[in-house]
Amino acid sequence: MNKKTPILIGLLFLILFSWLSVTSNFPVRYVMSRLDNIFYDIELRLHVWMHPMMVKSPVAIIDIDDESLKQLGRWPWPRSLLGQLMTQLKQQGVVVVATDMMFSEPDVNVVDNILTLLNTKKLATTEVVSTLNKIHSDFEQDNLFAQSLQNIDSVLGMVLTPTAQQAGVLPPPLLQLTSVQEKDLTIIKTNGFISNIALLQQAVKSTGFLNIFPDLDGIIRRAPVILRYGDKIYPSLALEAARRYLLANPVELITPYYGSVMRLEGVKLGNRIIPTDEKGQALIPFIGNSFTFPYFSAVDVLHGKIPEHALQGKLVFMGTSATGEGDIKATAIEKVFPGVEIQASIANGILTHYFPYKPAWATGAELVVTIIIGLIAAIVFPYLGPIMVSVLMLCVPVAFIGFLFVQEWLWNKTGFIFSILIPTSLLVVLAIFNIVYGYLFEARRRARLKKMFGQYVPKKHIEEMLKAKGNYGLLGDDREMTVLFADIRSFTTISEGMRASELKEMLNAFFTPMTEIIFKHKGTIDKYVGDLIMAFWGAPLKDKNHAHHALAAALDMQETIIKMHPELASKGWPKIQMGIGLNSGKMSVGDMGSIFRRNYTVLGDEVNLASRVESLTKFYGVNIMTTAHTEKDQATFVFRQLDRVRVKGKQEGINIYEVVTKVKNLTDTLKHELEEHHQALENYFSQRFEEAFDLFSQLHEMYPETKIYKLYLERIAIFKENPPPADWDGVYTHATK
């Protein structure tokens, strides 16, 4: 085998993958980012599994859970109740409490509501108004809440919005951008805010935003630590809570220069560094699945039922996981994760000096590793041969797992995250290419086999023969399949008026497009018998959508027949009409026959039933008829139930249907006709013959060419004279095939 060609192509693959790792093309970056995120999720879960939290966290969560709502009432609670909760936390020794919620509108004083109601109903006497005014201040919820906030180091939430809206009072910023270079930083910009009312904003010690943005796949892996509003920088709830807890000042942005360009790489909080990307987002330092942090029910805190000193010296986040109220997120560590625990995870990372990160130079390092691995594989693989490379491919999963453990070790020691997507993918692609190239001779042999047998059996049948070991997939097998019979109407009459050569030419013109349609819809031709075509779906290749493909083929076959009419007329041949019958069910399929002649075919009662159904198409005046077995769950097609029948050779009655069209082609007129038809049919089966007769009469007048309506009118007329027995099940017995 020539080595120069695979080496050259391998080097081209190396250039392509190197470009993939550095390109800024958005569609490419989008795909690569999605794939890279999958690898990161695997690494994250491996890291958390191997290194569960071993130390006591300084962070805890107060959960307004289902039990709290059950005992204390539905959410939102009166703010005086939240104030009592703050007071209890203060008594428990909490250092800082951060609320994963905001209060952008004033709470309503219940006394004002009562006064309004009394005035409306003209019941407000002077004494009642005087009494209510005396207790008015006792129900000023915001004042009570504000007093509690002043007594504890607290942080309220707010939201910075992409639209230019303003609600509440904007708190002081964390930092001010001053220089031109700082203003050019790519920190996520916002244009508005929803904050807390003035009374609460003045009472609280500080505020942090609650914004968290999922990645393009809807999964949360990172969260903004800072956001920009104008030229001001605002902190996240987690950052501000940690800053209050540590009493850390000042806060600085880490902005090294790369050439003449300033780039954000992190936030410095005292002696702690929070690594971020250039947008100000940090990878969330998950320490476990949901509810890993200590959780305390809000109602237990209020009633003093938590262990003594359980919250002593803690940074506490208050949020809700209650059903219907919980802020639940889909995260990289777990698909159902409380939003408040994301804030707790970030704060815990700040306090414990733990943050995974991908530094600015990581892309360059990944490129170098890709080039080294690619060069070795591109040059060495062609000399190893396809068999040896195939053996090496079996080792790829082991190597991948080993790579993950190396990455895990690096993560645990330094927090540095290295992406293995590009180098691993390149290695696999080069291996697959060399295997395919090495087996090119085998591919040529397969092509010769297809050429030899392609005119006799379906191409997919040949593929099955090539893949099978020894028996070529021809041994008998019972499986769920769909079978189709298509027969030219009045063929005897047609053939009597034609010469043998003309008849042969016409049949060839008929069979060729019909066969092409069946093959296009993944079917297998069983046989041609005179003017009849028998085909089936579900073998030799298994096909879970066999019924769908067969129905689609039947509709295409009828449409093609109509398109052939001008061509037939131009040659002086008669117009061809065709009846098609289908049925689905368990059938025996395999290579059957004698030592002199064999045929790959299907057998069984369900096959015979399909043949019976095809023979009934002329009786009911329809082109395509199927049984309930094929009609079931086929939402793509429109069906008209024709009858409930007992065919010759069968004891049980079956529902039969006309395949009308595809749903996308259904017109309003046809839809209305079918609705009227099925209503008439329901009346008929329910022995409401007068109502059925009226509807079928109307339909017959509107659509006289539709034979089924005339049939039912004749049948109902007989029943009017000779009513059916009491146990009549609506089944019509066909005595002929």
The encoded tokens of residue 389 equal 């490379």
Same domain, 285 and 138: yes
- Beta-carbon count within 10 A of 684 CB: 22
DSSP 85-136: HHHHHHHTT-SEEEES----SPPPPHHHHHHHHHHHTT---HHHHHHHHHTG
Measured distance CA(109)–CA(80) in Å, rounded: 11
For residue 540, give its domain range: 474-662
Residue 542 counted as domain residue:
yes
pLDDT tens-digit map of 427-447: 888 888 888 877 765 555 566
Residue 622 lies in a domain: yes
Residues 567 and 500 in one domain: yes
Q: Does 469 map to a domain?
A: no
The last residue of a domain, from among 662, 694, 713: 662
Q: Provide the domain count of the chain.
A: 4
Last residue of a domain, one of 304, 320, 351: 351
Question: Which pLDDT score is estimated for 619?
Answer: 93
Question: Quick one: 731 and 623 in the same domain?
Answer: no
| CATH classification of the domain holding 652 | 3.30.70.1230
Strand ranges (E), 261-393: 261-262, 266-269, 272-275, 281-283, 295-297, 315-319, 328-329, 337-338
Assess whether 83 and 160 both reside in one domain.
yes
Q: Are residues 146 and 224 in the same domain?
A: yes
* pLDDT, tens only, 360-411: 777 777 888 888 888 988 888 888 877 788 787 777 677 667 776 777 777 7
Q: Are 170 and 189 members of one domain? A: yes
Asked if 234 and 383 sit in the same domain, the reply is no
pLDDT for the residue numbered 461: 61
How many helices (H) and strands (E) in the chain? 25, 30
Same domain? 593 vs 607: yes
Which domain-ending residue is among 647, 662, 677?
662
Query: Residues 410, 485: one domain?
Result: no
Do 335 and 400 belong to one domain? no
Inside any domain, residue 443: no
Angle at 60 between CA 54 and CA 61, to 5 degrees: 130
Q: Which residues of the chain have pLDDT under 70?
A: 1-2, 53-55, 110-113, 115, 124, 128-134, 136-139, 325-326, 396, 399-400, 404, 440-476, 593-598, 649-650, 735-737
Q: Is residue 165 one of the residues assigned to a domain?
A: yes
| 592, part of any domain | yes
Structure tokens, 395: 């080792």
> Residue 580 and residue 534: Cα distance in Å, rounded?
10
208 and 276 inside one domain: yes
Residue 509 covered by a domain: yes
Question: Looking at residue 490, what is its pLDDT?
Answer: 84
Structure tokens at 693: 């007769």
Pairing of strands 477-488, 166-167: unpaired
Whether residue 387 lies inside any domain: the answer is yes
CA distance 136 to 109: 8
Residue 155: partners with Cβ closer than 8 Å, 6 or more residues away:
96, 97, 98, 99, 204, 205, 206, 207, 208, 237, 240, 241, 244
Residues 306 and 418 in one domain: no
pLDDT of 735 reads 65
Q: What is the pLDDT of residue 449?
A: 47
